[in-house]
Chain A
Amino acid sequence: MQVPATFQYARATGVEHAIELLTRYGPEARLVAGGHSLLPMMKLRLAQPEALIDINGLDELTRIRVDGGELAVGAMVRHAGLLASAVVGEHFPVLRDAERMIADPLVRNRGTVGGSLCQADPSEDLSAAFCALRATLVAQGPDGRRVVPVREFFLGPYETVLGEAELLLEVRVPIRSHASAYRKVERRAGDWAVAAAAAVLELSGGVVTEAGIGLTAVGAPRFVAEEAERYLCGGPPDEERFAEAGRVAGEECRPSADQRGPVDYKRHLAAELTVRALRAAAARAQGQEA
């Protein structure tokens, strides 16, 4: 059995209380949400926080709402909750696609949307999906609330813009008429991505007016393929342009080799999955299920 080092534990009763506890326990304190990223690291002693601030009692962060034309997902919504949500499935198939392939049912029952983003794991699926959707994040700290575009949230692997005593409250995505899809290659069900791509297409008059392409596990800066997005805009959503967008995405990402695969393969996958996700999104725009 792997056992963590000693730590203190406090249970937050509200957002403000959580911030207060974070301030009190100092920089070596960590929030614990689903614990599915943090606890394994603690058991392996890769992380040794001095205190855990448990935010599992924060019911106000567990809701999925539609608010002012935006989908608002509380930070403590579990993967399983996002997957089961009808409104999410209707407007954001990219999230449903992604959730179906994140980990396994056990992990999805505990792991949270907020924890996924705040962990800033370079292979996180939701980071790519929300970046493709150009979501905004609402955070609160000792100095009050702020709104951060998700594309400005990640500073690098395991690093975000959140301050030491700052809490992510919710993720907001405008509900628009876009079409979206997510495609992932894993070595086995429940495995982290070898590579994955999220595609979001806003179409008008047979032309792409806005494109979102999120990539995970391939070292794409801030989980996006910006050049490919720019390329797609203003043109028709056809195979030829998707192929070119894929090629561009494969080139602009910066994968590194590991036991999931060598660099050339990961670049290829980034391209291939970008194409497949775009194709699926375009099919959905036509009302076809993909």
Chain B
Amino acid sequence: MTTTGERPVGFGRMTRKEDARFVRGHGTYVDDVRLPGMLYGAVLRSPLAHARIVSVDTSAAEAHPKVRAVITGETLAGLGLAWMPTLSYDTQAVLATDKVRFQGQEVAFVVAEDRYAARDALELIDVEYDPLPPVVDARRALDPGAPVIRDDKEGRTDNHVFDWEAGDRAATDEVFARADVVVGQDMLYPRVHPAPLETCGTVADMDAVTGKLTVWSTTQAPHAHRTLYAMVAGLPEHKIRVISPDIGGGFGNKVGIYPGYVCAVVGSIVTGKPVKWVEDRSENLMSTSFARDYHMPGEMAASRDGRILGVRVKVLADHGAFNSTAQPTKYPAGFFHIFTGSYDIEAAHCEVTGVYTNKAPGGVAYACSFRVTEAVYLVERMVDVLAAELGTDPAELRMRNLLRPEQFPYRNKTGWEYDSGDYPRALRLAMDLAHYEELRREQAERRERGELMGIGVSFFTEAVGAGPRKHMDILGLGMADGAELRVHPTGKAVLRISVQTQGQGHETTFAQIVAEELGIPPEDIDVVHGDTDQTPFGLGTYGSRSTPVSGAAAALVARKVRERARLVASAMLEVSPDDLEWEKGRWFVTGDPDQGRTMAEIALAAHSTLELPEGVEGHLDASCVYNPPNLTFPFGAYICVADVDAGTGQVKVRRFVAVDDCGTRINPMIVEGQVHGGLADGLGMALMQVIAFDEDGNCLGGSFMDYLLPTAVECPSWELGETVTPSPHHPIGAKGVGESATVGSPAAVVNAVVDALRPLGVRHVDMPLTPAAVWRAARGQPFRSDLAIT
């Protein structure tokens, strides 16, 4: 299908409604908000990773002619706000009082008349630190005698955060004991950063007269933020309005509440003026939610003929200085225990141990579907390690072990119920698109000539759309989302949703969902989101949950409106509702299709003086809350072709084939855009991204010169394919696709590079596959990518 044809009334390819605003520079981001009398905040950050605070002298800063307030941990302690709860039932310092625990931690907040003065005043604050030895290497965090980071907690004598396990240990051990082949591979999914192009920020405006607090914030979850402000600061929730205007990328980075937000709110309360705080690039990279940082010694057991029997792993999870992971509460390791992946495995067991280190807090951000990314990476690397051990083609080994269509709905060995899938079809399609057999022939020829060419396969199963209220919540808030739909008298509609676009195209996709249900063109449906005063409650956009959860709500609320319209139409046509049939946009009399009323006619009648039947008070408007019965399970098969320059270690990804199945495709163009972005993200992680730390705990990824985002030069022309297996439990069969490519692609790239290096005896290389890392791995001398290179 092309983009030039008619615009669909419902599902189909159409350009995004929001694009006109963005391409013309008419978006409104938090930093575009300018209020009369607005002041500017700046955060003073710790230069040290671990140190006791001896004293904080703010007198010189306060004397600066343009400074209106200086807030310290002590100021906040007086208000009971020096610490705040995290999304994982831990606490995090808003401004440090006792110690600093990572480089870049918030120590003081200056409010001044302009940005320059605020920044200048930071240099006038004199903090005396008493340095402490930092814990940098997660693998040393639990050593006896390791410095205790969280001595703010009564009785703490170590850096242990949690132990968690899933699966059946005994059954798994038994499978491993009898397996013909057991392979093991230690791997690191390094700490990476979502790095949205728009950094995080807030404008807080406390109206001293009405007591109403308005917060413009870079948030993926405005309603959750409102409730948290109420819970943490004790402000009445009806007096809090959180507005999330246009958001320049989130990727999970904008789920939580950062100390800077709280400081801006306090700054506004203290000064009586609106206060804007927008962090700079380095602050974003050094202090806000990172992702991954999982050390994973994986093991896989199989029969000699290539049946995968079991998988197990003991993960060491680096959570930084505060455990502020956003996770659906029961699962401290998120959905990691879906690590059996796409395979029919007899037994599986995982243990995850979380530790504190002197690094920035966070832990789940960056398009990872609550750690499905780590899980997929682990199992997909292990399958390749097994394939190498068995001497089997990795695509063939996958084909042999993939779940079969008739096994769905499939309950895996760690408790997940996969909704639907046809995995072999997707893998076959990817292999066809890639001309897999031909590629293998080419590879053999090149190997003859000493050239390093690799073909990497990965297959992923995602788990998105969190989630069923009875299983999942964030800080006690169930993960159900509301939707409200109004149809105006002239037949135009407004849909209000709780989720928040950060570039995914909600204003188009959600209009198309309603259009499909009501037959009103998407252009005639306005989608309102990102303002808690204007939208129903819900937990926001992350974990690819918008379409699976809110998209379902949108469809269901439209169906409610449609049913109401049926009653109105029956009154208009003077027939029983049971005698009416629906075709897109219109109710008509069964057997007499000329006798019918369009949605616009019905809408006007619903607002008119027409006597309305039982069940309609007037108007067509409706609302609903959607509580998903299960997650949805998108999946896909990816094939990457890479060439490695043996002399320099440089990797060139030559081709990348991605077959995605996200169920029903509402707007295929948007789906493809999401896949493109995710593939670029995944390639970036695989090839160039890591937030490493030196032995003093200095962050080595604090700028875009150090933390690299991939460019068009590194990205091949993505070759996409699709299969469509609708979700049986979702009202429109859609599964969500936002993170699929980020989840599935890193393993394909790494598998390709390791495959290229096979002739040199290489079995694994940790990400990122920089030229140096590849060259060293090829020589059998890999280095730790999470530490400073020495």
Contacts and interface: CB of A to CB of B under 8 A. Distances in A.
Interface string B165-199: 00000000000000000000000000000000000
B260 to A, nearest CB: 13
Interface string B280-309: 111000000000000000000000000000
B688 A258 contact: no
Contacts of B771: 185, 187, 194, 261, 265, 269
Nearest to B280: A2
Given A3-B116, A6-B116, A187-B770, A262 B790 contact: yes
Contacts of A44: 282, 703
B706 A259 contact: yes
B708 interface: yes
Interface string B20-62: 0000000000010000000000000000000000000000000
A272 interface: yes
Interface string B688-700: 1000100000001
B521 interface: no
A258 to B, nearest CB: 7
A259 B692 contact: yes
A12 B106 CA distance: 42
Interface residues of B, number: 36
A161 interface: no
B776 A262 contact: yes
Given A189-B714, A191-B708, A259 B789 contact: yes
B388 interface: no
A192 B789 contact: no
Contacts of B701: 259
Nearest to A191: B708
Interface string B523-567: 000000000000000000000000000000000000000000000
Nearest to A5: B120
Interface in B118-171: 119-120, 123
Interface in A78-106: 104
A209 B714 CA distance: 40
Given A194-B771, A262-B776, A187 B700 contact: no
A265 B775 contact: yes
Interface string B588-608: 000000000000000000000
A244 B611 CA distance: 97
Nearest to B781: A264
Contacts of B703: 44
A2 B772 contact: no
A259 B31 CA distance: 33
Interface stretch (B415-423, B469-477, B643-651): B643-651
Contacts of A269: 648, 771
A247 interface: no
A260 interface: yes
A104 B692 CA distance: 25
Interface string A211-229: 0000000000000000000
A188 interface: yes
B115 interface: yes
For the residues of A in contact with B, the DSSP-based class is loop
A250 to B, nearest CB: 12
Contacts of B770: 187, 260-261
B713 interface: yes
A187 B280 CA distance: 24
B282 A2 contact: yes
A49 B282 CA distance: 22
Contacts of A104: 711
A267 to B, nearest CB: 11
Given A185-B648, A188-B708, A257-B790, A265 B776 contact: yes
A38 B366 CA distance: 32
B115 A1 contact: yes
A190 interface: yes
Contact of A187 (B278, B688, B776, B788): B688
B572 to A, nearest CB: 58
Interface string A142-180: 000000000000000000000000000000000000000
Contact of B713 (A189, A192, A194): A189
A284 interface: no
Nearest to B684: A188
Of B31, B648, B772, the most chain A CB neighbours within 10 A belong to B772
A268 interface: yes
A44 B282 CA distance: 9
For the residues of B in contact with A, the DSSP-based class is loop
B242 to A, nearest CB: 23
Interface string A269-282: 10011001000000
A261 B789 CA distance: 6
Interface string A67-79: 0000000000000
B783 interface: yes
B710 interface: yes
Nearest to A190: B711
B708 A6 contact: no
B705 interface: yes
Given A257-B790, A265-B772, A3 B705 contact: no
A150 B602 CA distance: 82
A187 B710 CA distance: 10
Given A1-B115, A188-B688, A260 B772 contact: yes
A262 B774 CA distance: 12
Given A258-B789, A272-B647, A3 B119 contact: yes
B776 to A, nearest CB: 6
A265 to B, nearest CB: 5
B117 to A, nearest CB: 10
Contacts of A1: 31, 115, 278, 280
Of B647, B687, B688, the most chain A CB neighbours within 10 A belong to B647
Contacts of B278: 1
Contact of A257 (B280, B649, B708, B789): B789
Interface in B707-728: 708, 710-711, 713-714
A188 B711 contact: yes
A185 B651 CA distance: 11
A112 B711 CA distance: 23
A191 B709 CA distance: 10
Nearest to A262: B789
Given A1-B280, A272-B648, A188 B776 contact: no
Interface string B105-120: 0000000000110011
A259 B711 contact: no
B649 A2 contact: no
A139 to B, nearest CB: 29
A261 B771 CA distance: 8
Nearest to B649: A265
B547 to A, nearest CB: 32
Contacts of B687: 188
A262 B708 contact: no
A1 B692 CA distance: 24
Interface string A1-18: 111011000000000000
A151 B391 CA distance: 56
Contacts of A259: 692, 700-701, 706, 788-789
B302 to A, nearest CB: 36
B708 A187 contact: yes
Given A44-B282, A188-B688, A257-B789, A194 B772 contact: yes
* In the complex, the 4 A-B pairs of residues with the closest C-beta atoms, listed nearest first: A261-B772, A189-B713, A2-B280, A265-B772
Interface of B: 31, 115-116, 119-120, 123, 278, 280-282, 647-650, 687-688, 692, 700-701, 703, 705-706, 708, 710-711, 713-714, 770-772, 775-776, 783, 788-790
Given A3-B115, A5-B120, 7 more contacts: A1-B31, A6-B116, A185-B650, A188-B710, A190-B713, A194-B771, A260-B770
Interface of A: 1-3, 5-6, 44-45, 104, 185, 187-192, 194, 257-262, 265, 268-269, 272-273, 276
7 contacts: A1-B278, A191-B708, A257-B789, A257-B790, A261-B775, A265-B776, A269-B771
